[in-house]
Chain A
Amino acid sequence: MTAPIEAEGLVRRFGDLVAVDGVDLEVQPAEVFGFLGPNGAGKSTTVRMLTTLLKPTAGRARVAGFDVVREAGRVRRAIGVALQDAAIDPLMTGTELLRLQAVLHGIPRRHADRRGAELLERVGLTAAADRRVGTYSGGMRRRLDLALSLVHEPEVLFLDEPTTGLDPMSRVALWEEVRALNQERGTTVLLTTQYLEEADQLAGRIAIIDYGRIVRQGEPRALKSEVGAPTLLLAVDEAHHAAAVAALAGFGEERPAGPGEVAIGLEGGAARVPDAVRALDAAGISVNHMELNQPSLDDVFAEATGRRLEGAEEPAGGGGTPAATGG
C-alpha cells in the first residue's frame, strides 16, 4: 500500500510571500500525524493544498494514492476534511447538515440517515440532533464538524486546528474521539495544531513547521530525546539576568527562554541541580523561580527555531486566516 499522504517539495507563494517553502511529507497508513507550528507557519496552507482547495505553486502531492492536482476529484472522494473554525451553517440542524454532507458525497438517502444517526451518537450529539447548529457550543460544533467529515468513511482525515479555541474538557473529548477513530477504523489522520500537548498526546509522528519549512520530523519521544539534557529554567530579576547566564555557562548550552527567564540544557540532569544552585548563590543571584523540565516538544521547537512556541500562541479563538496572513 502506498502512503496515504505523500508530498514532495510542496511550495505555495502568495505574491511575494512564500507561505509553504518546500514541504516533504510521508504519512503512513493508520497513522496520526501531527503538524505543529505557530500561527502563519504554513500549516493551513499545506492542508489546503492537500485537500485540493489550493493549487501548489511547485512540487507535487498524492493523497490516498491520487495526485492532488490532476486527480483532485478522486482525492475529494477519499478524504474527510474539518477546516479551521468549524464552518457550519448555523441555520441548519445537525441532522440536516449530515444529510446534506451525505448527498454531497453521493451516499443514498437510506444509508445516509442511518449513518448520520450513528455519527451523531458517536460524537455525543444525539440529543442536540434536531437543534439548529447556531445554538451549539464551540465544542459541540467541532464534534459535529468531525462527524460531518466522517460521513463517507474517508480513508484519510484532515483536521485543521481541531481544538483551537476550545475549553480543556472539550479538547480532551475531541482527542479521545480522534484516537478512537484511528484505532477502530485505521483511519489515517493528519492534524495541524499550535498546541504542543495536542501533538504530544495524539500524534504518533509529528512535523514541526516554521516559516513554511519542516524543521524537525519524527516521533515525539525520539525528537525529545534528541534534545538530550533536561532544561533548567530560572526566573530572575532583569538586573541579574546577565550574571545568571554567566554563572550557569559551564553547566550546559543556553536555550531560548521567555522574558525574565534563563534556560540552560543541564548536562548531567537532576544530579547537577545542587551545583547549579551553589553557583548561582556564589554569584549573589536571587532566584525567583526554578524548575527542571524533561525535554518537551517546546524544547524541540526551541532548538530547531530559536524561539519558544509555548506562550507565543494567540489568545484562544483568535483563529485568524491561514496562510495569507503569513509570518
Chain B
Amino acid sequence: MTTVALLRAHRRQPLLQALVLSRRSVVALLRQPTVWIPSMFFPLFFTALNSAAFQRATNLPGFPPFDSFLDFLVPATILQGVIFGAISAGTEMATDIENGFFDRLISSPVSRISILVGRLAGAAALGGAQAVLFVLILLPFGASIGGGAVTVAVLVATAMLLGVGIGGFGVALALRTGSAEAVQGSFPLLFVTLFLSSAFFPRGLMTGWYQTVAGVNPVSWMIEAQRRLLLEGFAATDAAVAVAVAAGIGVVSVGASLLALRRRLAEAPA
C-alpha cells in the first residue's frame, strides 16, 4: 500500500473503527434474537397484565384523562424494554473481555474510544428499534398516539438516548468487573429505579415517601413528559424534558464508562 493511502487511512481511522465496531454490535443483535426478544416479550406481558387489571384506575379522580390504562403505559413499556435490551451492551462487553476479544482489540492500533462507541451505538440502535416495534405492536391493541409521527419520533429519540444511558451503565460495570454475571446482577437496581418512579401510576395519586421519591426521580419527569405528548400532542417543552432526561442519564453513564475504560487500560501502555 502506498504511503499516501496509509496516511489518508490514518486520518479517518477512529471514525471508521467506530463504524465497523458499531456494525459488529448490530450484526450480533440481529444474529442473536434470543438476546433481545425477551426484552420485547416481558414488557408486553406486564403491560397486557396491568392494562387488564387496572383499567378502572383511569376513572379515579386525578388520573390523567387517558382513555385506557394501555395508553397510559406506553412510555413505561418502552422504558422497560430498553432497560432489558440495553444491558446486553454490558454483557456483550463483558463477554469480549472474558473470551479475549477485548485483548485482540487493544493489541491493535484501534482508537480506544471507538471500542465504547461501537458498543453504545449498538445499544442506541436497539433502543430505537424497540420503540418503533412497541408502538407498532401496541397500536392494534388500541393504543392511541397523540401527536402522531412527531411524538413517535420523540419516543424513538428518547429510547435511543436511554439505550446509550443504560448501555453505558452496563458497559461501565463490564469494564470494571470483566464479568457478564456482575452486569446481569445489576439488573434489579435498574428496575428499582423504574419502580420508584411514576412509570406505572400517576404521581398525583401516590402518597407519602413514595410520592416524594417518585417526584425527585428524573425517570418520572421523562415518563410524564412522554405521557403528556401522547395525550395532548406535540409540545416542544415536553419533548425537550423527555430528551434532556434521557440525555442526562447518557452523559452520566458514558462518563462512568469512560472512567472504567481508562481504569481497565491502566495496565496497558497508552
**Does A pair with B?**
yes
Q: Does the CB pair B27–A52 fall under 8 Å?
A: no
Q: Does the CB pair B100–A91 fall under 8 Å?
A: no
With an 8 A cutoff between CB atoms, is B17 at the interface? yes
Q: Does the CB pair A69–B100 fall under 8 Å?
A: no
With an 8 A cutoff between CB atoms, is B207 at the interface? no
Q: Does the CB pair B110–A104 fall under 8 Å?
A: yes
Q: Mark B101-112, 1 if CB is under 8 A from A, else 0.
A: 101111111100
Q: Does the CB pair A54–B17 fall under 8 Å?
A: no
Query: In the complex where A89-B28, A104-B17 touch, is A52 in contact with B107 (Cβ < 8 A)?
Result: yes
Q: Does the CB pair A77–B101 fall under 8 Å?
A: no
Return chain B residues, CB-CB under 8 Å to A52.
Answer: 107, 268-269
With an 8 A cutoff between CB atoms, is B259 at the interface? no
Q: Does the CB pair B104–A83 fall under 8 Å?
A: yes
Name B67-110 residues within 8 Å CB distance of A: 96, 99-101, 103-110
Return chain B residues, CB-CB under 8 Å to A55.
Answer: 267-269
CA distance A55 to B267 in the complex (A): 6
Q: Mark A81-122, 1 if CB is under 8 A from B, else 0.
A: 101110111011000100111011111100100000000000
Choose among B6, B27, B106 the residue that contacts A92 (Cβ–Cβ < 8 A). Answer: B27
CB distance from B16 to the nearest CB of A (A): 5
Q: Does the CB pair A87–B100 fall under 8 Å?
A: yes
With an 8 A cutoff between CB atoms, is A68 at the interface? yes
Return chain B residues, CB-CB under 8 Å to A88.
Answer: 101
With an 8 A cutoff between CB atoms, is A70 at the interface? yes
Q: Does the CB pair B13–A92 fall under 8 Å?
A: no
Choose among B5, B24, B106, B267 the residue that contacts A108 (Cβ–Cβ < 8 A). Answer: B5
Return chain A residues, CB-CB under 8 Å to B27.
Answer: 91-92, 96
Nearest to A100 among chain B residues (CB) is B20
CA distance A92 to B21 in the complex (A): 12
CA distance A100 to B115 in the complex (A): 12
Nearest to B115 among chain A residues (CB) is A104
Which secondary structure dominates where chain A touches chain B?
Answer: loop
Nearest to B13 among chain A residues (CB) is A106
Interface core residue of A70, A77, A106 (most chain B CB under 10 Å): A106
CA distance A178 to B108 in the complex (A): 20
Q: Does the CB pair B101–A103 fall under 8 Å?
A: no
CA distance A212 to B108 in the complex (A): 26
Q: Does the CB pair B20–A72 fall under 8 Å?
A: no
With an 8 A cutoff between CB atoms, is A76 at the interface? yes
With an 8 A cutoff between CB atoms, is A53 at the interface? yes
Q: Does the CB pair A72–B269 fall under 8 Å?
A: yes
CA distance A79 to B20 in the complex (A): 21
With an 8 A cutoff between CB atoms, is A73 at the interface? yes
Q: Does the CB pair A83–B20 fall under 8 Å?
A: no
Query: In the complex where A51-B107, A81-B107 touch, is A107 in contact with B28 (Cβ < 8 A)?
Result: no
Return chain B residues, CB-CB under 8 Å to A108.
Answer: 1, 5, 8-9
Q: Does the CB pair A100–B24 fall under 8 Å?
A: yes
Q: Does the CB pair B106–A53 fall under 8 Å?
A: yes
Return chain B residues, CB-CB under 8 Å to A70.
Answer: 269
Q: Does the CB pair B20–A107 fall under 8 Å?
A: no
With an 8 A cutoff between CB atoms, is B32 at the interface? yes
CA distance A96 to B27 in the complex (A): 10
Query: In the complex where A104-B110, A108-B1, A108-B5 touch, is A81 in contact with B104 (Cβ < 8 A)?
Result: yes
CB distance from B101 to the nearest CB of A (A): 5
Q: Does the CB pair B9–A91 fall under 8 Å?
A: no
Name A105-153 residues within 8 Å CB distance of B: 105-108, 111, 132, 148
CB distance from B228 to the nearest CB of A (A): 41
Q: Mark B5-25, 1 if CB is under 8 A from A, else 0.
A: 110111001001101110010
CB distance from A61 to the nearest CB of B (A): 11
With an 8 A cutoff between CB atoms, is B60 at the interface? no
Return chain A residues, CB-CB under 8 Å to B1.
Answer: 107-108, 111
List the interface of chain A (C-beta within 8 A of B). 51-55, 68-70, 72-73, 76-77, 79, 81, 83-85, 87-89, 91-92, 96, 99-101, 103-108, 111, 132, 148
A-B contact pairs, 27 of them (CB 8 A): A51-B107, A52-B107, A52-B269, A55-B268, A68-B269, A72-B268, A72-B269, A73-B270, A79-B107, A81-B108, A83-B103, A87-B101, A89-B24, A89-B96, A92-B24, A96-B24, A100-B20, A103-B20, A104-B17, A105-B108, A106-B9, A106-B13, A106-B109, A107-B1, A108-B8, A111-B1, A111-B5
Given contact pairs A77-B109, A104-B105, A106-B9, a sample of 6 additional A-B residue pairs in the complex whose CB atoms are under 8 Å apart = A54-B268, A83-B107, A92-B28, A105-B108, A107-B9, A132-B31
In the A-B complex, the 9 residue pairs with the closest CB atoms: A87-B100, A72-B269, A104-B108, A76-B109, A106-B9, A69-B269, A103-B20, A81-B107, A104-B110
